[in-house]
Amino acid sequence: MNYALVTGGSGGIGSAICIKLAQMGYHILVHYRSNKEAAENTLKVINELGGSGEIIRFDVTDHGAVKTALQKWKADHGHEYISVLVNNAGYSKDVLMVWMKPEEWSEVIDTNLNSFYNVTTPLLEDMVVNKFGRIINVVSLSGIKGLPGQTNYSAAKAGVIGATKALAQEVGRKKVTVNAVAPGYIRTEMTKDLDEKELKKLIPANRFGTPEEVAEVVGFLASNGASYINGEVIHVNGGLYT
């Protein structure tokens, strides 16, 4: 069986990614931190579509907790390993830099950037040893062009982009690819308070995107068809910035 872990499988984009990868035949580890009901709902949809999966819980900012949860999974699964990792869990706390409190900086860096280290390192060795792996990081337009009010979030996502490019070069010869997907404005919990009517005027597609449109690209990057794509950042933003 081929296993894929999607962090933040309880969220809008993560849920769509879980469903897409399940439809491609992966057994999905649907991850959540606080919203168990949403994770269970994602798993229910997977099962209804004839796929398989299980739920896993940890806080991506807690290095020890992530390690323990993934070690336990490994101990329960013998010689099997997680070959696809989608680092999707994320969090934004928008505030102008001049008023930003230390915790508003560090929580955003911890959740979006340090999580990449915390979740990737326990899985990387197995991918390298087995000579197959796909690591797909969900970053953001904010980490490419920078967005005012998001200095913390832009810094974190830009950090993940740098890490994507570096790690891709470390592990490419072991048939492990590391890529990033950079969504623009996507309709989820994270953007529910934004004024879509106003913001869509800036977007050539004239609308926000859907989680499924992000999931399609993640699915492609996880597929064999993407085996020669490594260290890339693919924009999914309706033409807002290319």
Show which residues are catalytic.
153
User: Per rule CB under 6 A, is residue 185 in the interface with ligand NDP?
Assistant: yes
89 near ligand NDP (CB under 6 A)? yes
69 binds ligand NDP (CB under 6 A): no
For ligand NDP, the binding residue among 5, 28, 171, 186 (CB under 6 A) is 186
Residue with tokens 């989608």: 86
Which one, 131 or 207, has the nearer CB to ligand NDP? 207
Instruction: Please pick, from the candidates 12, 53, 219, 238, the single residue that binds ligand NDP as defined by CB under 6 A.
Output: 12
140, 150, 152, 230: residue in contact with ligand NDP (rule CB under 6 A): 140
DSSP calls for the chain: --EEEETTTTSHHHHHHHHHHHHTTPEEEEEESS-HHHHHHHHHHHHHTT-EEEEEE--TT-HHHHHHHHHHHHHHTTT--EEEEEE---------GGG--HHHHHHHHIIIIIHHHHHHHHHHHHHHHTT-EEEEEE--THHHH--TT-HHHHHHHHHHHHHHHHHHHHHGGGTEEEEEEEE-SB-SGGGTTS-HHHHGGGSTTSS-B-HHHHHHHHHHHHSGGGTT--S-EEEESTTS--
Contact pattern for ligand NDP over residues 17 through 36, marking x by CB under 6 A: ---------------xxxx-
154 binds ligand NDP (CB under 6 A): no
Which is nearer to ligand NDP, 44 or 131 (by Cβ)?
A: 44
Min dist CB 63 to ligand NDP, Å, is 12
Q: Which is nearer to ligand NDP, 130 or 210 (CB)?
A: 210
Residues near ligand NDP, by CB under 6 A: 8, 10-14, 32-35, 59-61, 88-91, 111, 138, 140, 183, 185-186, 188-191
